[in-house]
Amino acid sequence: MIHDGLLGAIGETPLIRIDSLSRATGCSILGKAEHLNPGGSVKDRPARFIVECAERDGRLRPGGTIVEGTAGNTGIGLALVARARGHRCYVVVPHTMAPEKIALLRVLGAEVELVEPAPFSSERNYYHVARRRAEELSGGFFADQFENPANFEAHYRTTGPELWRDSGGALDGVVMAAGTGGTIGGVSAYLKERAPGLAVWLIDPPGSGLHALVTEGRIAASGCSITEGIGIGRETANFRRARLDGSMQGTDREAVEMAHFLLRRDGLFLGGSAALNCVGAVRLARRLGRGARIATILCDGGARYASRLYDAGWLEERGLAPRASDLEFLD
């Protein structure tokens, strides 16, 4: 098969059985290897859909500037798509993001504006800054991954159908974290249409309000997390379309331990959000019982977190150095 350029190479990622987790739970735990996309993350899919949709309806003119507020991965996907389609890319990023992501954005030709972290209620929040930059720039287009329905559609039309096809329609549960809500929204909507009894669960990191939203009907959060790109303090248009059966919470300790466990046991070199998704997969497998088939999303790889998630000194300073030799950290 010959794919049509960079955009044609996005998606159709393999669905892999994670042997260590499957053996430990007596279930089949499957990971959708989104870290193998051209831009290294699941965000390549909405980046492509957002740009193509904007080009079709005239919001993004030839040679225009794609503007986005991002924790990194969507910006990376947009920067690549912008190169392929002849656009410029301008991203607003909290300066606390992994330095590997920031450096990569610049290598890919994006203009990067670093801002101080600020709550969404503040006009200094990276989302609002990006929106203003798009208004100020001639030919600027605000990608708006949080509210843009093309994000949902990317996963409803591609990720969900791929999961259904590659699993042979034999899934008992799906679990993942959410940031913009596009992945969990599109995937859950597609799969629930075909298997209403499929269990779809959210796993939420510290500092996010989505767990309380699902379980109590209100946004409430405490703490903070080292994971990037997941967890949010509001309900987005994309998340609102998710069809969920429940929610669980995960911790930074569990994400770090799982990341190092999977690298050691399976050779899977993953980022923190993917590791937290695998924490959720183990928990859902235990809830559903032996023999269940659980799928999750391996959002991105570990290389862009090497100076943090895989740096012994950085982890030790935060009391997060991995100690477990097995999955006892989930007991």
User: Does 168 map to a domain?
Assistant: yes
Q: How many helices (H) and strands (E) does the chain have?
A: 14, 10
Residue 125's pLDDT band, with cuts at 50, 70 and 90, is very high
Average pLDDT over residues 120-128: 95
- For residues 229 and 310, membership in a common domain is answered with yes
- For residues 12 and 110, membership in a common domain is answered with no
Number of domains in the chain: 2
Higher pLDDT, 238 or 331: 238
At residue 331, the pLDDT reads 75
SS3 151: helix
Residue 18's pLDDT band, with cuts at 50, 70 and 90, is very high
Q: In 4-17, which positions are buried (b, 16+ CB within 10 angstroms) versus exposed (e)?
A: eebbeebbebeebe
Gap between the Cα atoms of 73 and 301, Å rounded = 11
- For residues 303 and 188, membership in a common domain is answered with yes
SS3 96: coil
Residue 297's pLDDT band, with cuts at 50, 70 and 90, is very high
Amino acid letter for position 189: A
Task: Name the active-site residue from 32, 43, 101, 192.
Answer: 43
Residue located via tokens 């209620």? 121
Q: Residue 95's CB: how many other CB atoms inside 10 A? A: 13
- For residues 225 and 298, membership in a common domain is answered with yes
Gap between the Cα atoms of 284 and 294, Å rounded = 8
- Domain hosting 163: range is 5-36+159-322
User: Does 241 map to a domain?
Assistant: yes
HSE-CB for 46 with a 13 A CA cutoff: 33
CATH assignment of the domain containing 201: 3.40.50.1100
- For residues 317 and 293, membership in a common domain is answered with yes
User: Does 307 map to a domain?
Assistant: yes
Residue 222's pLDDT band, with cuts at 50, 70 and 90, is confident
**43 annotated active-site:** yes
Q: pLDDT tens digit string along 126-160?
A: 999 999 999 999 999 999 999 999 999 999 999 99
Residue 1, pLDDT > 90, answer: no
87 contact partners, CB below 8 Å, separation of at least 6: 51, 60, 62, 63, 64, 65, 66, 81
At residue 72, the pLDDT reads 82
Using a 10 angstrom Cβ sphere, with 0-12 exposed, 13-18 middle and 19 or more buried, the burial of residue 30 is buried
- For residues 279 and 171, membership in a common domain is answered with yes
Average pLDDT over residues 297-325: 96
| pTM greater than 0.85 | yes
Averaged pLDDT score across all residues of the chain: 96
HSE-CB for 195 with a 13 A CA cutoff: 21
Evaluate whether 301 touches 39 at the Cβ level (below 8 Å): no
